Each structure stands twice: as C-alpha cells, then as structure tokens.
A and B are shown apart, each in its own frame.
Chain A
Amino acid sequence: MSNNSVTGAVLVAGGGIGGIQAALDLANSGYYVYMVEKSPSIGGVMAQLDKTFPTNDCSMCIMSPKLVEVGRHINIELITLAEIKDVRGGQGSFEVDVFQKARYVDMTKCIACGACAEKCPKKVDDLYNAGLAKRKAIYVPYPQAVPLKYAIDADNCIRFTKGKCGNCEKTCPAGAINYNDKDKNLTLKVGSIILAPGFNTYNPSGKAIYNYDASKDVVTSIEFERYLSASGPNQGHVTRPSDNAHPHKIAWLQCVGSRDINTCGNGYCSSVCCMYAIKQAIIAKEHDPSLECTVFYMDMRTHGKGFESCYNEAKDKHGIKFVRCKVHSLFTQEEKINNQENLDIGSVEDKDAVEGKKSVEDSGEQSAKKSKKESKNKNIKQYQVLNYFDEESGKVVTDLYDIVVLSVGMEISPETKALAEKIGIGLTDSGFIKTSSFDPVATTKDGFYVCGAVQGTKDIPQSVVEAGGAAMRAGTALAAARNTLTKTTPERTEIDIKGERPRVGVFVCHCGSNIASIIDVAAVRDYAATLPYVEYVATNMYSCSQDAQDGIANIVKEKQLNRMIVAACSPRTHEPLFQETLLSAGINKYLFEMVNIRNHGSWVHKDYPLEATQKAKDLVRMAVAKSVQLEPLAEADLNIDQNVVVIGGGISGMTAAKSLADQGYKVNIIEQNTSLGGQAKNLYQTAGRAMIQEGLGNLTSQITSHENITVFTGAEIEDVEGFVGNFKTTISSCCDSSAASKCGCSSLNSDKDGATSGTNSKTIEHGVTIIATGASELKPTEYMYGKDKRIVTGIELDKMFINNDPALTAAKSAVFIQCVGSRELQRPYCSRICCSHSVISALHLKEKNPDMNIFILYRDIRTYGEKELLYKEAREKGIIFIRYDLANKPEVSVGDGKLNIKVIDHVLKMPIVIEADLLTLASAVVPYKDEKLAQFFKVPLNEDGFFVEAHVKLAPSDFATDGVFLCGLAHYPKPIDESIAQAQAAASSALRLLSKKTIKTQGTIAEVNQTICSGCGVCLSVCPYNAPSLRVSNQNEGRPKPHEGKAEINPVLCKGCGACVSSCRSGALKLKGFDDGQLLAMIESAMNF
C-alpha cells in the first residue's frame, strides 16, 4: 500500500499554540514535522498572556508542558528564525524553500546560562514585553522559551553594527557564540502544509482619536497584559505608566480596530476582546479591589463556554462597570497637584523596573513609546478624558481615567497575505485564509491546511480545535506514508539491579561560573563522598554538555553505580537529559535524582556563598537519602484496540468517524435515532451560506458507503466496561432483530448467522471512544410558543426554508426574538449560534421577499468573527435591530387574528408594537445531560449539562479520562463549521492513541497494597482520572477474586499525582518515585546530619 509519491512529513508554519498542537498531533500519530517559526523560539501570543479566560488559568503554566514536549519531540524539527519563501509541487509532495536567519549562537553548545546577556552592553526593546521593557541584543525571548537557546539580534548587536564589542564570545563558558554563522536557505520535502502564522494586534498608533501616541497612559490590551503579568515589566504591579502612580480608574475601550470600517478597514469582530477585557478587569480588580474598572462596549460578546457566567461575575461579584457606548475619542488633561497629594506617585517597588524605565532614555533608541509625552513635572498628573453618551441617563458624560486600555483587535500580517497570494491560497474579503463550512481547516488549495486566527479571529480553544482538525486533514492526505519518516527511540536493555546494595554516584556541576562562583563545588563533592552508599563523586564544568554526558555514562558503567545524582540546575528542564544518560549506561532511568543548586542555590543566594554551599550539601544529602530508596520502575505496554466507537451520528459524529475511517481504522457509529444526521437534518444554511442539506447528504452517503464504517441506528448503550485501549461497549436495539428492518434500527446480532430473533444486542470491543451526542433546540415555554402556528423556533423556520414553505414569501412582516431560554437565570449560558442564525435567516427572508419588514429583537448581537459582516449586511438591507433587556422582555399577544409583539425601543425608550406574520424564537441549544453515558465513560458533566473537557483551553476535545474524546454540541453550542473542526480534532486526538498501537504507562504511578487496603473508596473519590477501582469478582469466574472490594490502580490511567496516596488513611497506596519512605527520608535527612 505504500505510496512513494507521498511524503510522510508535514510542515507547520508558525509556533504559536495552534501550530504547537497541530505539530504534536501529527508527530504523535506517525508523521515527521518541521515547525517553521520566524522568531527565535516558539510560544506565540499565548506565551505573552498573563492569564487565560474564562478560568483565569496562568497562561505560561498550562502552556509550558506543551512547549517542552515540542522541544523534546524526536519527530518535531524546530526551525526557528525562519520563514517560508516558496512552495513547489502539490498535495502529497511539496518542496518548501525556507530562509533561516543566522542565530550566531551554536544551539548544540548553548546551555542557556545567561552569562552572555548579563555582559551584553546593548539594550533593545523587548517585544515579548510589548516594548515596555528592555532586553539585550543577545537574548532568549522569555525565560521558559523553547528552544531555550540564546540568539543574537544582529540588527542591534554592537559587534555587527559597529564591529566592536565581542563580550558575549568572551563570556560564554560553553564557546557557543559564532559570529560567523550564516543565513541559510533550506528546502524541505513535505506532504502537507499547515499554516498557523497567527495574527498581529491592531496598532492604534497614528490614530489621534485614541490618544495612544500622545499619552503613555493609553495602552493596548497586549501591553496591559504584560503590565498585569508577574513576569512583565512591572512584576504584575499595575501603575499609571506616565508617572508610576497608583491608578484608581481604568477604562477599556472595546472594538479598537474591530467592527470598524471608518478608522480602519476591519469590519469583522475580533471575537476575543470582550472576554479578555473582562479577564483583565477582573485581574486588575483582584490586584486592587478598590480599583474602578469600566468597559465601554458595543455588544458584549461572551458566547463561549463559561464566558457568560464570567461576564456575570465580573458585573455582580467584581463590580466591574459595563457601559454600552462606542467612545469616539479621548484626550489628555493635565492637573496640577500639590505635594501632599503626590505621595502615591513613584511607588514602583522593584528597582529593576525603575531602571528599565530609565534605560528607555539612556539607550537613545527610537521606540514607539519614546515620543510619548511624559509628565516632566512631578506635580502634574495626567488623566485621560472620555466623553461618552450614557444611554441610561441619556446624557453626554465626561469622565477621567488614569489608564485607558485599547482592546485592540486581530489582523493578519501583510507578509502572511503576501505568502498566501504567492502560493495561490484564497483569502476572504477581510484577508483571512478562506475555508468552507464543511471543510473548515482546508484552504482553497489542496495540501494546505490552516488553523488559528489566520483562518478568522478566534480564541485559544478554537485555535486548538482547528489545530487538531488541520492535523487530521493533513495527516489523512498522507496516511499511506504514515510512520515512513518518523524516528523511534531504540529499546535498550537494562541491568537488573534488584537486591544490589545501593551504589550512588554524585556529580556536582559548576555550570561554568553559574554555580561555582557562589557555591564551593569541590566542598559539596567532598561532602557527598562522606554520605552513606555514595561510591563515586565528581564535578563537571557543564554536566549537560555532550562530553560530560558521555563521561558520566562511562563512570556509571565502570563503577557499577546503580543510583545517580546530579547537583546542577532544574529537573524540570534537565531531568530527562540525565535520565537518558543513565539509561544509556544500562540503568533504569527512575534511579536518578536531581539536585537544584543553581536555580534554587547560587542564583538566589549570591550574597551568601557559605550558606548556599551548606544548602547545597543539605540538598545533596537529602537526595542521597531518597535515592537509596529508589527502585527501578517499569513502564508497562498496553495494547490499544484499533477499533473506534463514535457515539452520535450527527454531523460531528459522522465527521469524526470519517476522519478515522479515512486513516484506515474501523469505526462503529452508534446512533440513537433510526437515521443519521442529527440536528443538521433540519438546518438550512451555514453562516458561510453553504447549503446544509447538500453537505449533509454528501457526508451521509460517504459514511454509509465507507468500507471502514459500521452504523448502528436505533441503538442504545447498555453497558460499558474497560478503559483506554480496551473498551467493551454493549449496545442494544430498540426492537428485536426481526422487527429491526421495519423500524429502521440496526439488526445487531445478524452479522454472523443472518437475521435471528431474540434480544437484539451486541458487544463492541474498541480502543477509543468519541462522544458526539449533540444537543437539541429548547422548546420554548414563553412568547406564546405553541399557541399560534405563526410562532416558530429557529430550527422550525429552517425547516420551512427547506420545504420552501409558501408562508415565508407571503409574510409581510417577520420578527425574531433572540436569547429565548439563553442567558437567563435558569440557563445562564449563551447559545452562541442563535444571533448568526437569525441574521442569516433574516437575510434569506429578505432575499425571498425584499419588501418584508424584518425586526430582530436582541440583547447583544453576537455575530463574532467575520459573521459580523452578515450583521452589517442585514442592517444595510433594512433589517431593523431593536435591543431589549432582560427586565423588559418583548410581549407577544394574539388578538383578532393578529400577532403582535410589543417591545420597548432602546433608542426611543418607548414601547412599540410590531404586527408580525412570522415570529421566530431563537431558542436555546440545550444539552441532553446524559448522566448515564457520563457514568459509563466516567466523564463529567457541567451544571448546564454539557460534557466537561479535560482543559478549557488546551484540551477542548479531550476528556480527563484517557481514550474518550468529545466534539460537537455535546461540548457546547457551536455552528457546523466549528463542529466539524472539533470532530476532526477529536479524531486527531484519538489518532494519537490509535497510531501508537501500544501505549506505555508512566513509571511514577500509584500502586495499592491490597493486604492493608480497607476498601473505603476515598481514592476513587479523589482521582480525576478514574485510575482506582475496587476489585469486583467476575460472576462468570465462579469464585471470589482475591482481595475483592479492595482498591487497585489501573496503571494506564494513573497520572502519578499522588492525591490518592495522601488521602489513603490505611497507607495502602504508594506513589512510586515519590513514596512516603522516600519523602520522609528526605525530611529526616534535611534536619539530621
């Protein structure tokens, strides 16, 4: 089957979160990935964020494991400082010309000690900090950067610009500086290309109305994000930039560079700004509860999962003010103040930050901010004056703010557009890469896929979803060449050390002068030699250098060491490296222990060399005490059944099924109804104006004719056993086999011996499960729904469109009421799709009958992204939008055969009555709240009844439970294109597992000693992964299982957190690698010596 014309490698252009996810999905499912990133390290905008909405998770915390995984992946090749120049060839075999700028630092030698940057005399605007701080000409963009290798910014380096200096070369202890490094042109052979270049933020500079150039106190949202960040220029202290005074009032201006065709040409909505403004306001308030925060907006667009409640909390709990008004301009007002009042000025606590500020002037650089007016006189305070129309009072209000944050929108960079044009990829009118509703991650050109903001403005989870989708599509095209270019780590044999007396080797690292300049490395080494079980001690100049690694491995072999300790830097960055070294010497990698005497020692106690040395000795002693108790740990292999079950035969389920079937996997679709199609059967058009019945028909016929897909309709799940890789799902049909054909449900037990009577059930063995059970439209209980046939729901209207109902053309007046059953007390979430859906339907009505009077009664119009253009079109076509609020909902009445809708007009503030021939209720999307299914697969449901994904941001299509994935409306309301993308993403996640055929369990997992387990079940209660279970006898086995009722841990599901271990009163649980004995040995030895 192998097809030589297809190349099993994919190029991912862009190292933001989208690119990262796509690369990981592909590399983990059998494709070699080249990741081309234009900056020196990956991470993109997400790395710059302080927190992520709506949960306010620390952005770096959740992202850095992914960064590290990319950096260490043997099937991902990072090509940094690089750009695509040209692409030749076609789908399956492209040749890509890549231009890579010289780094001037040898990545194989650089140990990221930072000595070079310390000595570098040249300060440059730090783009990571949005130009608000300075970095050096030799730099890493941020401390957690991957690859963690320095780079020289040749445009600013004194050595390159003036031919002098050379400090870094002199300082570098590793000899990594190479001034002779040259730019390179590479040609990469790949089968598919994923474009994930991300976005630029709108630059408000040059637009006088925003006062951005004139005042330092007007900042963009990305700048404010850096101010908020603990790793930002102010260490997270928000101060008024002009004078570092403590701010009292901050305003956010929404839609700067979005929904704006006057100041700029960006007619679309940027989708994320409302939420990030809320997030920033909440964080700012958390820093200082007395702060007054006001968000000026046009429509609050909080249409994502958990967003609406975040918005409500911002209002109700945090007291953030929301004012509906597009502020047209602002200006600076100066105020003289006397010295008494001046006390709170200049209170930045951190010296570095103050120096950083000063250096802006010292450096003599022309920065964007340089030209800004600063308050030269300390006695003059700057305020930002906002004039706005307050709807409530009906008056123009003038208000003063300390800081104004411009919620800037997203834009696609000219370079990206130019590249797209050059390689012939279609763009939308707004300049985003064009895709279609039914193939949302494929560009107009075969072989090119897309994810993230370049396809249209979106938030992180949506980008991650698309990344999965793009990976799925890119991989499917290359399925024939899967595993042809990937590398595998060779299996190595380990020496069995069981029963041996511990023989510990301790290696103490100088890290050049990083450690040795403070800590007496030789003394630590000599001290280590006196510790029990220590058989060998040594120091290394750089323990992580290749030659040191080789040396260590040789010593381990020669001295027959069976435990290894390296006292150097952080295990978070270097443990895998040394474990690899130990493994290469034939010793189980879990017999390694790392002591952090640099990050936790020399670097933080530089004025206390004696104490730092003593601390290093203590830490080494603790590590020795632990290491003698370490045991070799096994990573067991678990086979992954190669079959798939998809639950739900709607668009999402079918797409997921097709995606995996196209890659050669056998897929079973279990559908409760007697036919496939789900909600889409009743839908008319997508926001992209694609005809849904046509698309659905194509998809359904592909499914039913697919050789790898078996469809079970009218089928219900009876029971589920097992776990990742080894599920057993029993389904039954609504009728017995003989009646099945009449009903439309599947005959389940007829596949072997023809139709049989009796119970109609079947057990399917499968390795992964995709839950795509969908949701339904709420049947409204208000607005007289059901009392008059002119009152329909959104879906019912679509049915009328599909049936070309004559009532539609006959209608003279049509009204839509939005938020029916959504954003209310009993159902607080926004149903996301209804605004766009009503707008499209309204447009369609207009097309049918241009004279029809159409009114859309709304609370906030949430036509996010390019759907905003539909909203604009609707207004242009005379569709009237009337806003109502929750306290004054429209009233529907029928009298004399007339259908009247009374609503208070938001402009006139007067009730108006509309007589309608058609009233469409944009009714909420409600989940099935399938608790039985949730229990079967041990996956959670949220309060609203939607399934809860593993992580809101970074794992939107996964469950915390391994082997179970999620897509479509069961996750949250979403339009078809997003459902399809998520279905592909869920399939991609599933593929990561399936393609491995076996998975390795982690070594550091929990284990139960059943003889002392009391079977109380606390471990089951605290484990988020369902790893523990209580032993139950199989009734077929006849006699009770040993230790029945006692707990056991499924090593495949355990992630090794240890929550069960600390909760177990009986002490029956241990966490290998972090067991009580080991930790108590560390505690004891920390104090006793």
Chain B
Amino acid sequence: MKIIKIDKKLWSDGVEKSRAAYRLIGPVKDKEFHQFRELAKGEQPDMNYKNSRLSPKSIAFPQSETMFLYDLDEKAEAHHIMQDAPKDYSPRAVIGIRPYDAKAFKILDLNFNNSDYQDPYWINSYNCTTFIGLANSSPDKFDFSTSCGTGPFDDSAVDVLLVDYNDSYLAKIMTDKGSAWLNAAGFTTKNGEIDGTVKGVGEAEEDIYEIIEKLKADAEAKITSKVAFDKIKEKSILDIFNAPFWEDIAFACLNCGTCTYSCPTCWCFDIQDETKGKKGIRQKNWDSCMTSLFTVHATGHNPRHNDWERTRQRFMHKLKYFQDKYNQGIMCVGCGRCVEQCPANIDIRNICNQMNNGEWE
C-alpha cells in the first residue's frame, strides 16, 4: 500500500482527465440533498459533502433496471422471446464514496455473488466500478459505523481512500484498480509511480501514517452512538422472533420504504413485466420488506399480514439472520440514514441494542 499526496488544486483537472477512461459518478447537490449521480462533462463531485441522502448502492443496483426486452407483435421476428437489454459495463469510477457506503457493497456482494447464485447485473456493474473513497473527518450524530465493522476511515472496501488534509488529499492506494484510476487521472504513471512530472503530487511524508491515524482517531471519537450485536448471535432465532417487544417497537412504524430505500445494504428486489402496445420489458425494481405486497401469496394469503411483522422482518434479517448465515457481523454499516430519515423515529440502534441486551422469557 502506498500513500500519495495530491494538491487539491490539481484535483478537478485530474477528475476531468480520468473521464477519458471512466464514466464518473460522484456526490452532487440536488436541491437540498446530495446524491450520487453520473457526472456530466465538466461536473465535479462535491468533495465537501457530508452524506448522500440515498446510499450509492444504485450504482450497481439501480432502483429500476431493465433486464430484458420483448416484442409481442406476432409479425415481428423473435416475438415473445426475451432479449437481453443493452448494457454499458465500461469502467466507471465512483468518486468520494464514504467508507461505510463502500463497505456496504461488500455486504451486497455476499448476496449477489456467492456460490449458490451469481447475479450478472450486479457482478458486471460491481466489477467495472472503481471506488475512490473519501474518509469522513466529521461524522454526524446519526453515524454509528464504528460499531458496525467499518468506520469513517475504513479502507477495506475502497480502491483508493482519500483523506482530506489541509490543502491536499492523502490518497491511500489500496488496489490496482485504484492505482489505475489515479493513473488515468494523471496523478501517477502507469505503474502507480510518481515520477515527479506532475507538480503538486508527491510521495507522502514518512509521518503520514501517524497523521492519518490521528485524523482517524479524531473522527472516530466524534461517533458517540454505538450498537452491540454480539449476544444476538447467541440467542436463538425463535427466541428473538417471539420476543415481546416487537409490537411496541413497530407501533409507530408507517411501513413506508424510507429505510429500505435509503439503506446501503437492503438488497431486496422484485421482478415486473411492463408492456405498452406491443413492446414489453422485464425489469428489476427495488422492493421493500415493509410493504404488504412483499410477501403476499398468489392466493391472497400474506404470511406477514400485520404491519409489525414486517417491521420485525427487517430487523431480524439485518441483525440476526444475516449474522447467522454469513458470520460477518450485521447487515448494517451504521450510516445512520434510516435513523435520520425515518418519519416515525424507528431507530435501528435502539432495536439492535434491545435485541442484544434485552432479557425476556
């Protein structure tokens, strides 16, 4: 691993330069919120953003994604046969992604790319994406990422981690993919070397590790809310499932999709056909376990008939089933979006702690 130092003055030119080889994605302000979007020519990611309103998972897992096209016109050749929808899997770089959001991609990857099942749409998108992470020096009050196996300076899921340091970015080059982007941006040579031809980019000083560690410690210290889930793993599924607090926890829940749609790790989707005239598509849409339609059977029977059962499902999945299945912590990176945005104050931190620490029959 290598750390280089990039003068902020060079940053935007570098980003623009990398466009020759990458489709660029980054946080931009859209009305009052930041969102990850493909950057138009000349457009820069906002490197001073706090957090994006929605998670950037849509980069590889869009809310609506067309999978197939078909033609119902019997006069047409190959009518009623599904055709792959055209896709663009050319390299793309997501710039300024927060470490926990990048970490979430790893969690999603567990689901979409495993020995049982490989989702081509996910795999192709994920593989063609380079993550240029941006460490978070001032986490907000909703952030509880440190207790979720990641943190504001977590470099485990990014290809490059940028650390804002005075007039420079300190770039931790984590992977070859990362190195390739830096190269495309003109910050390094082909091999990731710094040949001194670019003024303002240089090898970081020796004490840079300590500096980063210091920044990291400062940032982590700002995170005061914590969750614990160690005991959840030990408890039996049925024990937690039948715990007495669910109806109380879920009482306020509106069963809207705010939490699932803003969540970087919620991965559920639904497949729908849509036709207009003689053309049709099959598309994959985000789904939400909060809605009654999520589990409703063709017979009309719904195993999760009551609102609170759906709320329970969400937390059982994230905090219990996921732990049990993958043994990689919880299905939550502590970004705090759901806590901040929930209209009814359903707070995963409380619920997690209640599941973990609660004592009941």
Contact = CB atoms under 8 A, between A and B. Distances in A.
Contacts of B277: 1084, 1087-1089
A932 B2 CA distance: 90
A1034 interface: no
B63 to A, nearest CB: 25
B74 A532 contact: yes
Interface in A520-543: 532
B235 interface: no
A750 to B, nearest CB: 53
A1011 interface: yes
A1088 B278 contact: yes
B276 A1088 contact: yes
Contacts of A532: 74
Interface string B268-281: 00000000111000
Contact of A1011 (B74, B278, B300): B300
Contacts of A1087: 277
Interface string B44-77: 0000000000000000000000000000001000
A1042 to B, nearest CB: 13
Interface string A1055-1089: 00000000000000000000000000000100111
Interface residues of B, number: 5
Interface residues of A, number: 6
Nearest to A1012: B300
Interface string B243-284: 000000000000000000000000000000000111000000
B306 to A, nearest CB: 16
A1011 B296 CA distance: 13
Nearest to B72: A532
Interface in B88-125: none
Contacts of B300: 1011
Contacts of B74: 532
Nearest to A532: B74
Contacts of A1088: 276-278
Contacts, number: 9
Interface string B202-217: 0000000000000000
A1084 B278 CA distance: 11
A1084 B276 CA distance: 8
A1087 B276 CA distance: 10
B146 to A, nearest CB: 46
B168 to A, nearest CB: 58
A1011 B276 CA distance: 29
Interface string A1000-1027: 0000000000010000000000000000
Nearest to B74: A532
Contacts of A1084: 276-277
B297 to A, nearest CB: 13
B303 to A, nearest CB: 16
A1087 B277 CA distance: 8
A1084 B74 CA distance: 18
Interface in B275-309: 276-278, 300
Nearest to B279: A1088
Contacts of A1011: 300
B209 to A, nearest CB: 63
Nearest to A1089: B277
Nearest to A1087: B277
A440 to B, nearest CB: 60
Interface string B13-45: 000000000000000000000000000000000
A1088 B280 CA distance: 13
Nearest to A1088: B277
A532 B300 CA distance: 30
A1069 to B, nearest CB: 17
Nearest to A1084: B277
Nearest to B276: A1088
Interface in B296-349: 300
A1011 B74 CA distance: 37
A915 B84 CA distance: 106
A190 B28 CA distance: 92
Interface in A924-967: none
Nearest to A1011: B300
B76 to A, nearest CB: 13
A648 B52 CA distance: 77
A572 B39 CA distance: 61
Nearest to B278: A1088
Contacts of B276: 1084, 1088
A580 to B, nearest CB: 34
A532 B277 CA distance: 13
B65 to A, nearest CB: 24
A666 B74 CA distance: 66
B279 to A, nearest CB: 9
A532 B75 CA distance: 11
A1089 B300 CA distance: 34
A1047 to B, nearest CB: 18
B75 to A, nearest CB: 8
Nearest to B75: A530
B130 to A, nearest CB: 43
B272 to A, nearest CB: 17
A1088 B72 CA distance: 12
Nearest to A1085: B277
Nearest to B277: A1088
Contacts of B278: 1088
Interface string A425-457: 000000000000000000000000000000000
A1012 to B, nearest CB: 9
A483 B226 CA distance: 89
A385 B28 CA distance: 85
A844 B277 CA distance: 82
Nearest to B300: A1011
A1067 to B, nearest CB: 14
A870 B33 CA distance: 89
A1011 B277 CA distance: 31
A202 B277 CA distance: 63
B319 to A, nearest CB: 33
Contacts of A1089: 277
A660 B211 CA distance: 106
A1017 B300 CA distance: 23
B301 to A, nearest CB: 11
B101 to A, nearest CB: 39
B296 to A, nearest CB: 11
A174 to B, nearest CB: 39
A532 B74 CA distance: 9
A1011 B301 CA distance: 11
Interface string A850-887: 00000000000000000000000000000000000000
A1011 to B, nearest CB: 6
A1088 B277 CA distance: 5
B276 to A, nearest CB: 7
Interface in A181-228: none
B79 to A, nearest CB: 11
A1011 B300 CA distance: 9
A105 B158 CA distance: 93
**Could you say which of A1011, A1087, A1088 has the most chain B C-beta atoms within 10 Å of its C-beta?**
A1088
A1011 B278 CA distance: 32
A1087 B300 CA distance: 33
A1084 B277 CA distance: 7
B352 to A, nearest CB: 35
B195 to A, nearest CB: 61
Interface in A77-132: none
Given A1084-B276, A1088-B276, A1088-B278, 6 more contacts: A532-B74, A1011-B300, A1084-B277, A1087-B277, A1088-B277, A1089-B277
Nearest 9 A-B pairs (CB), nearest first?
Answer: A1088-B277, A1011-B300, A1088-B276, A1088-B278, A1089-B277, A1084-B277, A532-B74, A1087-B277, A1084-B276
Interface of A: 532, 1011, 1084, 1087-1089
Interface of B: 74, 276-278, 300
9 contacts: A532-B74, A1011-B300, A1084-B276, A1084-B277, A1087-B277, A1088-B276, A1088-B277, A1088-B278, A1089-B277
